[in-house]
Amino acid sequence: MRSWTPVTESEIYTVLGPFLLIGIVQKPTAGSYFSKRRVISTPGFADVISRERIELVCKFLHFINNESLPTYQGPPILFKIYPVICHLNIKFQTLYLLIQNIANDESLTLWKGCLPLNASKFRIETFELCESITGYLWCFLVYTGKNTVLQLCLITPDTPKTAAVVLELLEPLFGCGHTL
């Protein structure tokens, strides 16, 4: 923390670039991407940003002002990334028209933290509404346990959680003629 310097907009893009590459270049640990050992090194990563800097930026990276917590209506655990989740859902829905057949699915992602080498593992569970043929992700909901925020007014306290999640995902498509 003593070496902290303010982050610029271009540095944010520099941090996000390696994240995209991590999805393509598979390594066993986050530290492997920045290894100096010739046999396992990945030249692009260390050339763009140091491991120490990317870890420091990721440690404090969030997309909402901490002062706005009292006005925030989402799940507490998603406070720092909730604006990104909302933005992605809006873009996914406005940039693509679904065909008639759609599917509801659940996805579990193993997460090891941002980039620290000793990060603890946990699961991120999402519920997704996708197009059946292409698999296009049209909208998703991050499951946060009993704190999962469901906005739909049709949901009553008696509604089972699984049914409530499906109704929440389908709500923008009611009356549009889709087949689930």
Q: Give, for all 180 residues of the chain, the pLDDT tens digit.
A: 677 888 888 998 888 888 888 878 888 887 888 888 888 888 888 888 888 888 888 888 777 777 766 566 666 677 778 888 889 999 999 999 999 999 999 888 766 555 444 444 567 788 999 999 999 999 999 888 776 767 665 667 777 778 888 888 988 898 899 998
The 102-111 sheet, strands edge to edge: 102-111, 122-131, 137-143
In this prediction, residue 119 carries a pLDDT of 47
In this prediction, residue 69 carries a pLDDT of 63
In this prediction, residue 70 carries a pLDDT of 56
pTM recorded for the entire structure: 0.67
Residue 165 and residue 49: Cα distance in Å, rounded?
Answer: 40
In this prediction, residue 152 carries a pLDDT of 61
In this prediction, residue 165 carries a pLDDT of 85
Which single residue is written with the structure tokens 């986050």?
Answer: 30
Residue 77 near residue 144 (C-beta atoms within 8 A)? yes
Residue 131 and residue 128: Cα distance in Å, rounded?
Answer: 10
